[in-house]
Structure formats: structure tokens, C-alpha cells
Structure 1
Amino acid sequence: MATMQAEIEEILQRAFAPTMLEVINDSGQHAGHAGDDGSGESHFTVVIESPAFAGVSRLQRQRQVIAALGDIVGERVHAVAIKASVPGGK
């Protein structure tokens, strides 16, 4: 069975063909806090750079990533922090 981190990476690779993608499991930093389900896969940070974000606001980029992740955010994972940018820019 693939990890949640691997599943997120695969989905985002397909959706955005990123030039850079880093999915960081932050769950250990939230142990015992709200949203920690004990799985070790409850909190993630996504750092993604893709030409698909050109001309799109920061908020819209985040919405696109959340939409691509489908039921992962809020149902299967408690929280995902997103840092989305275009190659060579913000």
C-alpha cells in the first residue's frame, strides 16, 4: 500500500506536471494536537512549482491544488499547507 505522501505526489505530478514538487510529512510535529489521528499521515506541506500556475493568483493556485487532491484534504488528511509558484517566479 502506498503512503499518503506518495499518493499526493502522484496526483500532483499528473495534474500539474510540476518542474519542482516536494511533499513533506509534517505529522510528527502535530502529534497529540487537533487533527492527529495517530496514523502519522495527518499533516503535510506541498511545495510545488508549475507553469500551470502562470497568471493565476496565490489563492487560486491553492484552490487548484486542493481540487486536484479531491477527498484527501479534510477527509483523509487533516491539513495541507500549500506553497505554489511558477518556475522562476512567485
Structure 2
Amino acid sequence: MRRRMSPLAVTALVAGGVLLGTGAAPAGAAVQPAMAGAGKVIRCDIPEMRQQAAALGSKAARLDRLGERAAAKRARARADAVERKVHACVEADRNA
């Protein structure tokens, strides 16, 4: 049996995420806006994203040493995805 969420619950979750995502950045954080299509602005916290990618990379290495090859591959893929997002943010900021 599949569990489904009501459209109202999904709308509330999305709206909550939008409200939380548009909050002001903490002082001293290097948050750079990157332009997206259709006039949307995406906020990129590059140092935090790089730290997250490094943590995922070290997690992948640890999992690899433990013999968990599939989990290590997933962690590496997530680290690569975060690095691609960082690169996209930097490029978007450079071209803006």
C-alpha cells in the first residue's frame, strides 16, 4: 500500500520551505546570489557547500575502507553533485 500526502500538505511543505529558504543569511556568511532562469535568485553559501562536499568525500573514503563500496559510490556522487552546484554558482556569479 502506497502512502500519499494530500495536496494541501504538499503545498504547506513547499510554502514552508520557501519561507525558510528566503530568510536572511547570518552575519559573516559568504552567501552569493546566483541568477537562475525566469528572474529567480538562488542563494549559494559557497564555503558551506565546499565543506559539505569535503565531508561527503571523507565519508566516501571511510566507507570505502570499510568495504561498503555501494555506499561510498553514493557518497562520492553526492559530493560531486555539491561541487557541480558550487561551480555553477561561481560561474553564474561571474557571468552576472
Under TM normalisation by the shorter chain, which class is it? under 0.3
TM-score under structure 1 length normalisation: 0.27
Pick the structure with more strand per residue.
Answer: 1
Instruction: Choose between structure 1 and 2 for higher RCO, CA contacts under 8 A separated by at least 6 residues.
Output: 1
TM-score under structure 2 length normalisation: 0.26
Rg (Cα) greater in structure = 2
